[in-house]
Amino acid sequence: MTINHLISTFAHDDQTKTVLVLIVLDLVLGVCAAVKLGTFALSYIANFARNDVLAKVIPFFAVYSAGLVAPNVSVGIDQANLANLSDLLFVAVAGALVGSLVSSLSDLGFPLPAKLGRGGQAGAVDDVG
């Protein structure tokens, strides 16, 4: 399996597309929130690229590729292999990005349940149900 094949497979995977959509939404909402709060600086975009894109997508690609090349290699946990680890890493990356999106929505003034917001901060609504 060549690196070109790995990159092509990764780029066409639904998990990758989901992560990329979340990154774009996170960037747009984060910039909007920073502008609204008056804290926007171009250095935030560079930090976002380093911390959210490189620190999340590159490791995800590495584990994803390892899972394609050697899917049945054990990772030291009973019944777990590299293919399972790739799925777990996707959940972790997507969860981190969704958390950042929720934070940006809160900063923009959208009312969120206390469990999703910042623990009852102004702008959060009471949990219903």
Q: What is the pLDDT along the chain (129 residues), one digit of tens a residue?
A: 788 998 999 999 999 999 999 999 999 999 999 999 999 999 999 999 998 889 988 999 999 998 888 888 877 777 778 888 888 999 999 999 999 999 899 889 888 777 765 554 444 444 443
Instruction: Answer whether residue 10 is part of any domain.
Output: no
Please name the residue ranges forming H helices in 38-54. Answer: 42-48
Instruction: Answer whether residue 93 is part of any domain.
Output: yes
Instruction: Answer whether residue 71 is part of any domain.
Output: yes
Instruction: Answer whether residue 9 is part of any domain.
Output: no
Instruction: Answer whether residue 34 is part of any domain.
Output: no
Instruction: Answer whether residue 111 is part of any domain.
Output: yes
Instruction: Answer whether residue 1 is part of any domain.
Output: no
Q: What distance in Å separates the CA atoms of residue 87 and residue 71, rounded to the nearest whole number?
A: 12
- The CA-based dihedral angle spanning residues 30, 21, 60, 66, taken in that order and rounded to the nearest 10 degrees: -170
Closest by Cα among 93, 96, 71 to 84: 71
Instruction: Answer whether residue 22 is part of any domain.
Output: no
Residue 72 lies in domain? 40-120
pLDDT of 32 reads 94
Element holding 16 (H helix, E strand): helix 14-37
